[in-house]
Amino acid sequence: MAEPTTRATPSRRAVVGGIWTAPVLVAASTAPAFAASAAAALAIDTFTAYGAAYDGAGTPLRIETKVQVRRAWDATAPKVTSISVTIAFPDTLAAGGKATSVSGDGWSATSESGPAGNAYTYVFTWTGMLDNTTQSTPELVFQVKRNSVRATGTTLTAYVTSPQATATSRTIATTT
């Protein structure tokens, strides 16, 4: 007569350990070794505004503004191929109208509007490529008409957006 075979029943501790380990193994197996970043990081390197095109009395007739945007180094972030910069000038400082003397490789004036909310808003677009190294756009330089008031102190904020990057902004104090 054959001996009855006995099967060992796993202990509770082994069963519980297996249950707790399974989800971790499944989650770890679905994650890629090097996941790409969702968006590139941008920063505003240069942002200045000052009086320009002075009249005979030494009063500035225009406001010259410079903006340069940098893409932070990130080997896994996507390439940045377009950037928009929006700046609102208070109507106590700017007189409105089309931006003039727009320069910088890849930059163009996209729109101007106002006054709305006591400001004239200007939008500029850059197209090119900032790849997986630390690179900056060429400097955007433009002028807007200055209001015919005495020099005044104010703050300006540049807002930067891109489909491939997180939005950023920078505020400066200026007297023009």
Is 19 inside any structural domain?
no
Can you give the CATH number for the domain in which 54 is found?
A: 2.60.40.1510
Q: What is the mean pLDDT of residues 164-170?
A: 96
Residue bearing the bigger pLDDT, 69 or 5: 69
Tell me which residue range forms the domain holding 132: 42-175
Strands 42-54 and 60-71: antiparallel
- Over the stretch 57-82, which tens digit does the pLDDT of each residue have? 888 899 999 999 999 988 889 999 99
Q: What is the mean pLDDT of residues 86-111?
A: 94
If pLDDT is split at 50, 70 and 90, which confidence band does 32 have?
A: very low
If pLDDT is split at 50, 70 and 90, which confidence band does 29 have?
A: very low
Q: What is the mean pLDDT of residues 83-93?
A: 94
Whole-number pLDDT of residue 34: 42
Beta-carbon contacts of residue 111 (< 8 Å; ≥ 6 apart): 121, 122, 123
Is 33 inside any structural domain?
no
Lowest mean pLDDT among 7-16, 95-104, 137-146, 152-161: 7-16
Q: Measured between alpha carbons, how far is 30 from 140 in angstroms, rounded to an integer? A: 44
101 SS3 class: strand
Whole-number pLDDT of residue 12: 54
25 SS3 class: helix
Is 130 inside any structural domain?
yes
